[in-house]
């Protein structure tokens, strides 16, 4: 094929046209599972069975293949990328019962397979007929699983999960730190650990020795002792009610204090303390009325010094000031409500066309309906989400009504049809209740309203999946598509299954989620998760029996394991299970439950034991009590075995339900610790071979290039001709913008790119990777024959007689493995030598900047070489950012900023430069220390093949030249607020339209009405009427819809559509004219505010010499007023002649005695903000 017919290298394809699929043998597959995908050898890529275009990977990966293992491979750059594809109908999962290795083997439909051969390390894993799983009782270790079924073998990596902090111990450690040797080895190990971390140890003997010399350690040990003393006791403290009034109220309390270790009651006197707002007051000293029980009645008088509306902490402490019991109450002047009100909506999700109603109810303290209550119902809009028409008006109040509450049952209020506007929105219902006592209560409910009356639903009902299409809440027939998805992709065809609704289907536990769609765009999704499985264990224990049952509303198949301690008593599988056993009360039982749901094995562990220290209270009391009635309450207290408990301290108290959310005190737990079941073994299937095109393995083609060149037809691809050049050299010329001759040399080694750290043209450095990595890889040089030297991490490659064509870019690749004439190789270290660093530093140009990267768009030019300073490397010298530019020859260089600053200077090595208007500052600088050199490009690096050297046009496109204007804020109409009798206009813009700049609102028939706002905000405070809206966009077009009618007491929503877009014309010019007019008005306003006349006192004598005239100085000065600010500028213009006179950082005049010279002064700071404006005149 002729060279001119081939694609340019910069746009050439960098991966193979085709991807090939190679079948693996069982030994090859086993080797990959044991050693990893990176160990694939060339013989693994010989049995090609399929191929497909690389650009269609998604379609190619779904092509059907026979059962087996395959390597799917194609080339990407210099690499062969490949991944493992498994075609199998087997699904393997692990059931972790924490004791055994249990495996389930299922087919693609989820059915258990009982005829498979399962081996782990060549050891057979037998089938357990009771559970239908493959189980090794109290056995198993991590390794490679081989499962054979119907003559085909699949492989899986089995991993063992270790608990956090687990470490592998040899037999010596297990012997030393096991009983009885642990009695001696554990203290020694603890002491060694404390000595090894002595600076962090505050406990034991090391902490005691440190406390002698360290006050902080002493304090920490004291804190630890106090915490231990506080943990020595357990208690609860009950109050007669949760709130107390500041006047005339009485607090009653009871505290129960017991020793944590054995429950022995406290007999010590305790001090009752009150704490509020940081103040502590002792109230009394309490002695137990009986061991462990403390009672007290406290009148809350003013002498206690408590402030209202505060939380007060009440606690009991002993003589060592250790708190033994504590409780908090709220101290305020409360008022208990005698009524209770409720509000509920018939539909919290409201759809258009369906009736909506609200149910209200009011009851008294005895839960009897109120006879004299009224309600006022208000419906308010909250958030508009979708417009049903281009223009929609939404009132501030959608609807309101008032009526009396029904004295019997709930009061129903229907929402009239047509109240809600043609929008999808959220609205709030506020009900204000009022009774005869003028007590007021407000209840609120938020509801979502949809415009679409139809919806698809997916619900679980028993063991079935119900599919419905509802219109106005009624099921109607509809055609739809049902998709079944696993966690990592679709199950079955991507297009899904066509179904006719309504439909009921059996639930498939191996499906992760169901998706239902129809042609109208409706969608419903149901994800199967542990939350909606509904599977749980119900249990009951008595002193001599155990009862266990599984509640399974969806009839999910599950596996169960019942343990007594660590001994397996029962196991099995099914959709239901219950068992009743006789067992002693002190034994602990455990249930391990496993089931497939949502495509994953779910596990649940249950512990069933009879509490030994728990007490059961049975109360005998009437269900209803009347005011003034005296009740006799009877309580029976029994222990866990049902026997009456002796020596019980019973606390009984009650208060009215008018207190909101009363809480009982937390009771101490004396249940002894019982160890659970030992978690001996936990397994999981490894994820190392969940390979995919997104996470492939990779190998360098290297010596295998000839084979893959033939297999994938790579020889005709331009990019691979560049990577593997014939005869060791590749050349391509292409025209360059601006007629600049340039070069892009590369060094290739077996297809890998060796980064070029530096390039020399005729012995002069012209490129340094560390400095120029952010620039286009295009080295500017003169046309003709040159000697090119390329410095890599390992060698210096010198090419003689390299021809550079005028106005072209030469892309050159050299393979040093080929012996070539006029090519010299010299070994070099992986770091620039001292001589090389000294040479390179002489060609660097450091530029000191005020911020990282310098002024945006600043450039350095030397001949045709144009460098953007922001693309250089930023380092910090003396805590200041310095950008390293270059390399440049020690010759004339031009520095330029987009703001107009230009400075031409002669480059001198070993100096850093600082540029400012009228200023060039040079400071000596230490030589730059270059980094070590990488041997090859990282996998994330892209080859810089497309770029060209910077031209002025390219820089202007990257950094548009800013128009210099002092910052002046426009006076906009964005402070107007909507008042009574006015309306609001809100604009809705689609995201595919350009961003808005300004919005102009006018009113036909009223030329004087103009509103200008930035962007497209809500336009408030509009009197009722018709308005014209014009929105100026960033692309100079505008949106101008038809005039819109704005109504009062609400918001008018206007949808801006693509058909409203207008090309630049009268509408756009009208907005720009308004912006310019207001900008001029703002300039005039600022000028008026900043203008001041400076009186210059002059000598009164006539004939004073000019040198003695008064001196006037104006400028932008530093804080110390020693010099003018660098980068600032001042303009002066004589108002009489309107001619510019000066433009400097500071201005000075000597004014004559008899003349008057008014000047307009404008000072601009370096960041282009307006600093000062004024008029200076001389006066007698």
Q: Is residue 774 a part of any domain in this protein?
A: yes
Q: Say whether pLDDT at 1164 is over 70.
A: no
Q: Helix or strand or coil: residue 1065?
A: coil
Are the CB atoms for 714 and 720 separated by under 8 Å?
Answer: yes
Q: State the average pLDDT for the chain.
A: 83
- Residue 694 tokens, joined: 């997104």
Residue with tokens 């958030």: 383
- 153-162, 171-180, 234-243, 987-996: lowest mean pLDDT where? 171-180
Say how far apart CA 305 and CA 393 lie, in whole Å.
58
The pLDDT confidence band at residue 537, using thresholds 50, 70 and 90, is very high
Range of the domain at 1129: 1091-1176
Q: Is residue 495 a part of any domain in this protein?
A: yes
Same domain, 205 and 234: no
- CA within 13 Å, CB half, 680: 13
Predicted confidence at residue 169, as pLDDT, reads: 62
Choice between 674 and 467, residue whose per-residue pLDDT is larger:
467
* Strands of 435-502, DSSP E: 440-450, 454-461, 464-471, 474-475, 478-486, 489-490, 497-501
Say how far apart CA 854 and CA 266 lie, in whole Å.
76
Say how far apart CA 434 and CA 442 lie, in whole Å.
9
- Residue 332 tokens, joined: 């305020």
Are the CB atoms for 376 and 431 separated by under 8 Å?
Answer: yes
Please say which residue of 608, 642, 658 terminates a domain.
608
Angle CA(556)–CA(561)–CA(564) in degrees, nearest 5? Answer: 145
Q: For the packed helices 204-211 and 215-230, what is the interaxial angle rounded to 10 degrees? A: 130
Q: Is residue 646 a part of any domain in this protein?
A: no
- Residue 237 tokens, joined: 């403290």
Q: Say whether pLDDT at 1121 is over 60.
A: no
Same domain, 382 and 414: yes
Q: What residues are paired with 1013 via a beta bridge?
A: 999
Same domain, 841 and 923: yes
User: CA torsion sign, 1074 to 1076 to 1080 to 1082?
Assistant: positive
Same domain, 124 and 107: yes
User: How big is the chain, counted in residues?
Assistant: 1180
Q: Is residue 679 a part of any domain in this protein?
A: no
CA distances from 395 to 179, 421, 870, 985, 1052 (A): 80, 9, 54, 12, 8
Q: What residues are paired with 861 via a beta bridge?
A: 866, 894
Q: Is residue 695 a part of any domain in this protein?
A: yes
Angle CA(21)–CA(26)–CA(30) in degrees, nearest 5? Answer: 100
Q: What residues are paired with 683 via a beta bridge?
A: 160
Q: What residues are paired with 456 via a beta bridge?
A: 469
CATH code of residue 1062: 2.60.40.1120
Same domain, 1077 and 1121: no
Predicted confidence at residue 1086, as pLDDT, reads: 58
Q: What residues are paired with 95 via a beta bridge?
A: 102
Please say which residue of 1088, 1123, 1145 terminates a domain.
1088
Q: Mind spelling out the 3-state secondary structure of 252-298?
A: EEEEEEEECCCCCECCCCEEEEEEECCEEEEEEEECCCECCEEEEEE
Predicted confidence at residue 186, as pLDDT, reads: 81
Same domain, 604 and 539: yes
Number of domains in the chain: 11
- 914-918, 964-968, 975-979: lowest mean pLDDT where? 964-968
Residue with tokens 């539909």: 347
- pLDDT tens string 411-469: 999 999 889 999 999 999 999 999 888 888 999 999 999 999 999 999 999 989 999 99
Question: What is the DSSP pairing of strand 892-896 with strand 859-862?
Answer: antiparallel
- pLDDT tens string 213-271: 888 888 888 888 878 877 788 898 999 888 888 888 899 999 999 988 888 899 999 99
- Residue 912 tokens, joined: 């850093």
CATH code of residue 268: 2.60.40.1930
CA distances from 150 to 147, 1055, 1146 (A): 10, 64, 94
Say how far apart CA 1043 and CA 1052 lie, in whole Å.
12
Same domain, 240 and 179: no
Q: Mind spelling out the 3-state secondary structure of 526-594?
A: EECCHHHHCCEEEEEECCCEEEEEEECCCCCCEEEEEEECCEEEEEEEECCCEEEEECCCCCCEEEEEE
H or E, element range at 1074? helix 1066-1090
Same domain, 1080 and 1105: no
Q: Is residue 652 a part of any domain in this protein?
A: no
- pLDDT tens string 323-365: 889 999 989 888 887 888 999 999 999 999 899 999 999 988 7
Are the CB atoms for 158 and 144 separated by under 8 Å?
Answer: yes
Same domain, 1045 and 990: yes
H or E, element range at 808? strand 808-814
Q: Say whether pLDDT at 1159 is over 50.
A: no
Same domain, 725 and 809: yes
- pLDDT tens string 611-656: 878 888 888 888 777 777 888 888 888 887 778 888 888 888 877 7
Say how far apart CA 353 and CA 453 lie, in whole Å.
6
Please say which residue of 406, 428, 450 terminates a domain.
450
Same domain, 720 and 782: yes
Q: Is residue 182 a part of any domain in this protein?
A: yes
Same domain, 826 and 839: no
CATH code of residue 409: 2.60.40
* Helical H segments across 644-789, by residue range: 705-711, 718-723, 769-772
Q: Helix or strand or coil: residue 10?
A: helix
H or E, element range at 1012? strand 1006-1014
Q: What residues are paired with 749 via a beta bridge?
A: 752
């Amino acid at each position: 094929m002729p060279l001119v017919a081939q694609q340019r290298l910069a746009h050439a394809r960098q991966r193979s046209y085709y991807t090939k699929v190679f079948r693996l043998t069982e030994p090859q597959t086993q080797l990959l599972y044991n050693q990893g995908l990176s160990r694939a050898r060339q013989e693994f890529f010989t049995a090609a069975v399929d191929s497909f275009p690389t650009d269609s990977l998604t379609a190619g990966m779904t092509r059907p293949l026979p059962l087996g293992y395959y390597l799917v491979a194609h080339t990407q750059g210099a690499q062969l990328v490949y991944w493992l594809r498994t075609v199998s109908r087997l699904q393997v999962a692990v059931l972790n019962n924490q004791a055994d290795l249990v495996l389930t083997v299922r087919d693609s439909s989820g059915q258990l397979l009982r005829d498979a051969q399962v081996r782990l390390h060549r050891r057979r894993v037998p089938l357990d007929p009771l559970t239908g799983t493959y189980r090794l009782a109290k056995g198993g270790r991590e390794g490679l699983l081989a499962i054979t079924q119907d003559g085909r073998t699949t492989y899986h990596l089995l991993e063992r999960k270790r608990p956090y902090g687990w470490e592998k111990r040899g037999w010596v450690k297990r012997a030393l730190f096991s009983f009885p040797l642990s009695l001696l080895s554990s203290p020694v190990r603890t002491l060694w650990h404390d000595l090894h971390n002595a600076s962090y140890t505050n406990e034991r003997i090391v902490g005691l020795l440190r406390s002698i010399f360290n006050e902080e350690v002493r304090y920490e040990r004291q804190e630890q002792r106090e915490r231990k003393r506080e943990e020595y006791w357990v208690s609860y403290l009950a109050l007669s009610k949760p709130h107390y009034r500041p006047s005339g109220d009485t607090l009653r309390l009871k505290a129960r204090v017991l020793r944590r270790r054995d429950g022995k009651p406290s007999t010590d006197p305790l001090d009752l303390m009150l704490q509020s707002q940081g103040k502590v007051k002792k109230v009394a000293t309490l002695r137990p009325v009986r061991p462990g029980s403390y009672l007290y009645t406290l009148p809350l008088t003013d002498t206690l010094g408590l402030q209202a509306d505060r939380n007060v902490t009440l606690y009991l402490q002993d003589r060592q000031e250790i708190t033994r019991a504590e409780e908090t109450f709220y101290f305020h002047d409360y008022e208990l409500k005698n009524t209770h009100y409720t509000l509920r909506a018939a539909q919290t999700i409201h759809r258009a066309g369906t009736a909506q109603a609200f149910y209200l109810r009011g009851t008294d303290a005895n839960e009897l309906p109120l006879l004299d209550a009224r309600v006022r119902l208000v419906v308010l809009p909250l958030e508009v989400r979708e417009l049903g028409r281009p223009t929609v008006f939404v009132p501030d109040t959608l609807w309101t009504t008032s009526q009396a509450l029904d004295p019997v049952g709930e009061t129903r209020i229907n929402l009239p049809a047509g109240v809600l506007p043609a929008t999808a929105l959220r609205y709030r219902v506020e009900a204000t209740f009022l009774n005869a006592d003028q007590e007021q209560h407000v209840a609120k409910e938020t509801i979502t309203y949809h415009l679409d009356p139809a919806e698809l639903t997916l619900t679980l009902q028993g063991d079935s999946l119900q599919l419905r299409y509802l219109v106005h809440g009624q099921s109607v027939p509809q055609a739809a598509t049902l998709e079944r998805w696993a966690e990592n992709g679709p199950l079955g065809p991507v297009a899904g299954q066509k179904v006719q609704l309504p439909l009921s289907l059996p639930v498939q536990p191996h499906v992760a989620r169901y998706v239902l769609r129809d042609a109208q765009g409706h969608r419903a999704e149901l994800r199967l998760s542990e939350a909606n499985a509904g599977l749980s264990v119900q249990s009951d224990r008595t002193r001599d029996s155990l009862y266990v049952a599984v509640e399974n509303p969806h009839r999910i198949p599950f596996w169960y394991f019942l343990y007594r301690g660590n001994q397996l008593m029962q196991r099995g599988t099914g959709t239901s299970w219950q068992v009743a056993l006789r067992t002693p009360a002190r034994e602990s039982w455990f249930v391990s439950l496993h089931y497939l749901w949502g495509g994953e094995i779910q596990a649940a562990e249950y512990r069933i034991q009879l509490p030994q220290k728990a007490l059961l209270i049975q109360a005998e009391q009437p269900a209803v009590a009347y005011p003034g009635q005296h009740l006799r309450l009877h309580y029976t207290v029994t222990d866990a075995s049902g026997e009456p408990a002796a020596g019980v301290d019973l606390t009984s108290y009650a208060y009215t339900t008018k207190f909101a959310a009363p809480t009982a005190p937390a009771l101490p737990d004396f249940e002894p610790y019982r160890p659970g079941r030992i978690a001996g073994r936990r397994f999981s299937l490894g994820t190392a071979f969940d390979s995919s095109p997104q996470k492939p393995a990779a190998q360098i083609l290297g010596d295998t290039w000839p084979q893959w060149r033939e297999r994938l037809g790579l020889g005709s691809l331009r990019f691979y001709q560049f990577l593997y050049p014939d005869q060791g050299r590749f050349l391509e010329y292409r025209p360059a913008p601006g007629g600049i001759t340039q070069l892009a040399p590369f060094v290739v080694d077996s297809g890998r790119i060796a980064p070029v750290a530096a390039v020399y043209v005729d012995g002069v450095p012209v490129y340094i990777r560390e400095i120029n990595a952010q620039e286009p890889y295009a080295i500017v040089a003169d046309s003709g024959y040159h000697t090119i030297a390329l410095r890599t991490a390992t060698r210096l490659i010198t090419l003689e007689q390299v021809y550079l064509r005028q106005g072209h870019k030469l892309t050159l690749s050299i393979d040093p493995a080929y012996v070539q004439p006029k090519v010299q190789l010299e070994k070099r270290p992986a770091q620039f030598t001292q001589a090389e660093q000294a040479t390179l530093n002489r060609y660097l140009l450091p530029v000191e900047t005020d911020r990282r990267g310098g002024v945006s768009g600043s450039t350095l030019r030397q001949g045709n070489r144009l460098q953007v300073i922001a693309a250089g490397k930023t380092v910090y010298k003396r805590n200041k950012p310095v950008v390293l530019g270059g390399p440049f020859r020690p010759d004339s260089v031009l520095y330029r900023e987009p703001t107009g600053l230009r400075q031409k200077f002669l480059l001198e090595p070993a100096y850093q430069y600082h540029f400012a208007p009228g200023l060039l500052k040079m400071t000596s600088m230490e030589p730059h220390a270059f980094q070590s050199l990488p041997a090859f490009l990282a996998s994330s690096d892209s080859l810089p093949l497309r770029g060209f050297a910077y031209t002025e046009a390219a820089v202007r496109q990257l950094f548009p030249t800013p128009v210099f204007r002092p910052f002046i804020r426009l006076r906009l109409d964005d402070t107007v607020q909507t008042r009574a009798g006015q309306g609001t206009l809100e604009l809705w813009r689609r995201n595919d339209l350009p961003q808005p700049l300004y919005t102009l609102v006018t009113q036909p028939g009223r030329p004087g009405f103009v509103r200008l706002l930035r962007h497209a905000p809500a336009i408030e405070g509009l009197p009722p009427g018709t308005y014209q809206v014009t929105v100026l966009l960033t692309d100079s077009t505008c949106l101008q819809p038809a005039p819109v009618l704005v109504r009062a007491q609400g918001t008018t929503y206007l949808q801006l559509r693509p058909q409203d877009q207008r090309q630049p014309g009268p509408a756009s010019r009208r907005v720009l004219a308004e912006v310019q007019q207001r900008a001029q008005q703002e300039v005039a306003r600022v000028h008026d505010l900043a203008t001041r006349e400076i009186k210059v006192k002059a000598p009164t004598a006539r004939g004073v010499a000019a040198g003695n005239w008064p001196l006037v100085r104006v400028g932008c000065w530093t804080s110390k007023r020693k010099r003018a600010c660098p980068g600032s500028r001042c303009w002066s213009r004589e108002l009489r002649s309107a001619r510019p006179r000066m433009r400097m950082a500071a201005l000075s005049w000597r004014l004559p005695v008899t003349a008057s010279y008014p000047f307009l002064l404008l000072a601009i700071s370096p960041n282009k903000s307006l600093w000062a404006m004024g008029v200076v005149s001389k006066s007698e």
